Structure 1
Amino acid sequence: MYKYTELQFVMPDDFFLPFGGKLNKENRWVQLAFLIPWWKIEAHYAHSFKPSNTGEQAMSVRIALGALIIQQRLHLSDRETVRQITENPYLQYFIGLPQFQEEPPFHPSSLVHFRKRFPDDVINQVNDWIIAGDDEKDDPKTCDEDGGSVDKENDHDSGMEATKIEVVPPAELEHEATEDAPNQGKLLLDATCTPADIAYPTDLSLLNEAREKLEHFIDLLHAPLRKEVPKPRTYREVARKAYLVVAKQRRASERTIRKAVGQQLRFVDRDLRIVEKLKEHVGLTSLSARNYKLLLVISELYRQQKEMHSKRIHRIEDRIVNLSQPHVRPIVRGKAKAAVEFGAKVSISVVDGFARMESLQWDSYNEGTTLKASVEQYRERYGCYPEAVLADKIYRTRENLQYCKTHEIRLSGPALGRPAKGERKEQKRQAKLDAAERNAVEGKFGEGKRIYGLGLIKARLANTSATVIAIQLLVMNLERRLRLLFCRQFCPLFLIIREETGLAV
C-alpha cells in the first residue's frame, strides 16, 4: 500500500526544528567533545608557531584537530569536510565555534596544514590520554606557572595563546613502574599494511610516466631558448605508440614486456641526457622545487629499472613504485586478496579493547622484532609486565621466547620441543583460547579498514600519511569510549557482566 503525499515540497521557513535553538546533550559529537583533553593538546600546538604578535591569527587547536577527527570519522575529502561542518551545528560545536555560522570556518586547503602540525607521535600521545581516561581526572581549568587558573571552556576565543602546560610523556600517564609488581593483563600484538592510494605499479607503466614527466621538463627548460636553440627531438609520439601497443594487450608475454621495458628505458635515458644539456644553458630555474624533486626521483627510478633489466631480476633495495610518493614500498603479505600491498607497515597493540600504534615504517620489517619494545611500553604505562602476550607465530623467535621466560610472561603458542603426553591436550585448549582472544586485534584491523579508511590512505606525504593512520586509531578508541559511556549510563547490568566475563564492548 502506498499513500500519496499532499505536499511534496516544504519551504525552508516552514520546516520544523525540534531542538528550539539548543543542542542535544546526548548527541555523539557533544559527547566526543568532552572526551578529548583539548587543553593539553594546545600546549604542543601553540609551540608549533613562531612567537610573534604580527600576522594572521592561526586557527585554534580544537578547530584544527577537531576537523581532522571529523574527516577520518566520516571518511570525507577535504572539501566535503568543510561542507559538512558548515551545514551541521553539532560539528561546529565539536570544533569549538561559539555559535552556528553559515560561512565556512576555514578553507579546505587548511586541512593540509592541520595534518602537518600534528605529527603521529603527538597523536599517539593524545591517544594515550584518551585511553587513560584523563578527561575524567583533569579539569579544563589548569594552572599556570604562577598558580593561576587558565579557563579552557572557550578555547575558540583563546587563539594561539600558549598555555603553561607541559606535555606529559605516555609513560607517566597511568602508573609508575615498580620492580616487584606482579604480571597483570594481556597484551595483543599484530601488524598490517595500510595501502596507499596509488595505481598498481608495473615497470612499464612507471617508465612511461617518467618519460612523460621528462618531456614536460624539457618543454619548460627549452622555453627560454626557443629563439636561439632548436628544440631537441624526444620521439614522444613513437614512444607513446610503443607503450600503448603492449599496454593494451590483455595478456602480454614476458618476452614482449621485457622488450617494451627496454625501449622505454632508452627513451628515458635520452630524455635525461637532454635535460642535462639544457641545464647547462638555463640551469634549473625554470623548474619548481616540486619538479626538481621529481627529477631526482626519476633519475633514481631509471637507475633501479636499468639494473633490474640488465641483471634480469625483479627485486632491488628501496624500490620506487610511485613517482609522486617515492617513500611507498612494496610489502609482501601473502594474503589471499593481494600477495603484495603498497603502503606503510604498522604494528599495533591492543589492551582491553583499546589500540595503540607501536611502530610505523615504510620499509618492510619483521614485526617479531617489536615485541620487546611493546612489552616495555606496556610496563611503563601500567607499572607491570603483562601476564601473557598473544601474537602469531612470527613473534615466537628464540630471542623473544627467552625474553618472555626471563620476565615470566606467557607467549601464546606451543613451547619449543616435543610436549609431554599429558600436556598436549592442555596446550591445545590454551591455544584455542588464545586464538579466540587474539581475534580482537584482527577485528581492529577490519574495523579500521572497513569503516575508518585504514584500507586506503589518501594522504600523499610520508608525515601526513602517518598522521592520518594515527588519527584513525584515535577515532577507533574514541568510538569505544563512547560505547563504554553509553553502557555506563544505560546498561549498568551489562557492565557488571563485562567485568566478570572480560567481554569486550
Structure 2
Amino acid sequence: MYRKVDPSPNPPSNFDLPFEGKLSEDNRWVIMAKIIPWSEFEAEYAQNFTVSTGAPAKSFRIALGALIIKERLGTSDSETVEQIRENPYLQYFIGMTTYSDASPFDSSMFVHFRQRIGVNLINKINEKMVKEQTELPGEEVEKKSSGISEHKNQGKLILDATCAPADIKYPTDLGLLNQGREYTEKIIDALHTQIKSPGKKKPRTYRNTARKAYLTVAKNRKPSRKVRRKAIKKQLQYIKRNLAHIDGMGELQSLRKYYYRMLLVATEVYRQQLWMYENKKNSIDDRIVSLTQPHIRPIVRGKAGKSVEFGAKLSASCRNGYVFLDRISWDNFNESVDLKKQVEEFKRFTGFYPESIHVDRIYRTRENRAWCKERGIRMSGPPLGRPPTNISKSTKKQAQSDERIRNSIEGKFGEAKRRFSLGRVMAKLSNTSGTAIAITFLVMNLSSLLRQAFWLFSVYFRTNSFFQVFYLY
C-alpha cells in the first residue's frame, strides 16, 4: 500500500531538533533538496503499488533520497542507513520533519528502492532537474515572442560510450565449470533431503576427487593448453553425471527458487562449454561469464590493459557540461547507431539541433556524416579520403579545439569511475544494476549544480560585502 505524501521540501527552519538550533540554509543537503523535482514524479512512482492494503510503503522521496545519499557518500547499504540515522541534514533530505535516532528503514530496502525506481524514471528526473536549474525564467516564452527560428543550430553535443564493470571474479572456462559442478552437488543434496525415501542412497558425486583435479590445474601458474583441455573435459564429465542424477531424482518442482534458477544456469554453462570444447572455440553467442549474474556479457573494448570488460555497455551524451545516459545494454553494440537518436534527443531537450557534434572515429560513418550534413551539423574529425599534403593552421587549430571539447566526456567517465561507483557496480540483478548506473549520472549532474549554486552564493556574498564597505566609507 502506498500513501501519497507531499515530497516538496519544507523550510529547514521547520525541521524539529531535540536540541536548540536550526538547520543551516546553505548546507549542501538543504540546497540539493531544493534542486531535485520531488513532487513531479511522485505519481509515477506510486504506480508500482496497486494493492490498497498492507503496511504503508516508503515514500518516493525516501527511496530516491536514500539512493542519492548512498551514491554521493560512496557507502554500503547498511552504512548509508547509519549515516541517515545519525545526521539530521540527511533526514531532512529524505523528507523527514523531525530528528529521530531510530533507523528510518532497514538496509535490505535498498533492493526494493532500486527495483521500483527504474532507469527511465531516473533519466526523466535527471533531465527535468538540469533543465529547471539551467533554463532562465521566461526563456522559452522569450524565444517564441522574439521569433527565433527553431532550425538555427546552437550548442555542442559530445557523444561517447563506456563500460560499467560488474563486481565478479575474472571468468575462466575451468573456473566456471568448477563452480557449476559445485552448484549441481548442492542441488543433489537439497533434493535428497526433500525426498527422504527410506533405503534410497544419495547418488555419488565424487566431489572430493573433482575438486582435487580442479585445484591441481588452477594452482598451476601457466598450465599448457593440453593440460587445460584435459581438466575441462574432466569437469564436463562430472557435471554431466550430476545432471543425470538430478533428472533421475525428479521432484524438481519442490526445489527452492534459488536452486532451480542455478540449475538452469549450470545447465546452460555446461552446454556452452561443451560446444566450445568439442569445436575448439574460445567464444560463443550469449556466453555466460558468471553463474550468480548470468546477464553479464564480455564487452570487447580494446583499451590499453583491459581488452575485455565484463559488465554493461553505456552510450552517453554530454550537453553543456551535464551527462545523460542514453542507452544501457548487457550485450555489446556499435555505439555509432545511436547518433541519430541522441541528436534528436538533444533537439527535444533544447529545441534546436546542435551546431557541432564531437565524437571519436567509430561515429564518423558515411551514413552519419550525410545525416548530419542535411541538418547543418558539423561533425568533428578529418573528412573522408586521403588527407591533404598541406594542412592550414586554421584546420589544425579547429581539430585541436574539437579534441579538447571531446575530452570533456572522457573526464566525466573518469569522474564517474573514480569518484563514484561506475568503476565497479555492486548490484547483482540486471534491473537493480541499471538503476545504480543511472543514479551515478544523476548524482554527477547534481554535484555540478551544487558547485554552481555555491559559486553563485559566494559571488552574491562578496558583492554585497563590497557595496556595504563602499557605502560605509
- TM (norm. structure 1) is 0.83
Are the aligned partners of 1:36 and 1:135 in contact in 2 as well (CA < 8 Å)? no
- Name the counterpart of 1:502: none
SS of residue in 1 equivalent to 2:216: helix
- Give the letter for the 1:255 counterpart: K
Q: Secondary structure at the match of 1:349?
A: strand
Amino acid at match of 2:130: I
Partners of 1:61 and 1:381 in 2: CA distance: 25
The equivalent position to 2:175 in structure 1, one of 202, 205, 212, is 205
Are 2:48 and 1:80 equivalent residues in the alignment?
no
Larger mean Cα displacement after TM superposition, 396-405 or 178-187: 178-187
> Equivalent residues in 2 for 1:177-188 (5 A)?
180-188=150-158
**Equivalent position of 1:342 in the other structure:** 310
Give CA deviations for 1:473-492 in whole Å, capped at 9, x if unaligned.
00000000011111222136
Distance 1:136 1:180, change over 3 A: closer
Residue 185 of structure 2: which of 194, 215, 218 is its match? 215
* Cα drift, residue 439 of structure 1: 1.3
Give the letter aligned to residue 68 of structure 2.
I
Among 215, 224, 229, the alignment partner of 1:258 is 229
| Alpha carbons 1:175, 1:380 under 8 Å: kept | no
Structure-2 separation of matches of 1:106 and 1:119: 20
Q: Look up the SS of the partner of 1:347 in the other structure.
A: strand
Alignment of 1:105-504 (within 5 A): 105-133=104-132, 180-223=150-193, 224-279=195-250, 283-419=251-387, 423-491=391-459
Q: State the match for 2:36 in structure 1.
A: 36
| 2-structure distance, mates of 1:95, 1:175 | 37
Contact 1:175 1:382 in 2 (8 A): no
Q: Distance in 2 between matches of 1:220 and 1:241?
A: 23
Structure 2: gaps (5+ residues): 1-16, 464-473
Partner of 2:26: 26
Contact 1:82-1:104 within 8 A present in 2 as well: yes
Give the Cα separation in 2 of the matches to 1:137 and 1:290. Answer: 52
**Cα shift at 1:112:** 0.8
CA–CA distance in structure 1, aligned partners of residues 286 and 219 of structure 2? 29
Note if contact 2:133-2:449 (Cα within 8 Å) is conserved in structure 1: no
Matched letter for residue 167 of structure 2: D
8 Å CA contact 2:30–2:93 kept in 1: the answer is yes
Distance 1:228 1:244 in 2: 34
2:95 is aligned to 96
Is 233-242 or 247-256 further displaced after alignment? 247-256
CA contact (8 A) 2:82 2:103 kept: yes
Q: CA deviation at 1:418?
A: 3.3
State the 1:383 CA deviation.
Answer: 1.2
Contact 1:189 1:391 in 2 (8 A): yes
Distance in 2, matches of 1:137 and 1:96, equals 27
2:69 corresponds in structure 1 to 70
The structure with the largest helix share of the pair is 2
Secondary structure of 1:333's counterpart equals strand
TM-score w.r.t. structure 2 length?
A: 0.89
* TM-aligned CA deviation for residue 99 of structure 1: 1.0
Query: Structure 1 stretches of 5 or more lacking a match?
Result: 1-16, 139-171, 496-505
Structure 1 residue 425, shift from structure 2 partner: 3.7
The offset of 1:423, in angstroms, is 4.9
What is the alpha-carbon root mean square deviation over aligned residues? 2.4
Query: 1:416-470: per-residue Cα shift (whole Å, max 9, x none)?
Result: 1235566544332211111111111001101000111110000001011000000
Q: State how many pairs are aligned.
A: 440
Alpha-carbon spacing, 1:321–1:175, altered in 2? closer, same or farther (3 Å): farther
The one-character-per-residue Cα deviations of 1:205-226 (angstroms, maximum 9, x if unpaired) are 1000000000000011112235
Q: 1:175 to 1:358 in 2, by over 3 A?
A: farther
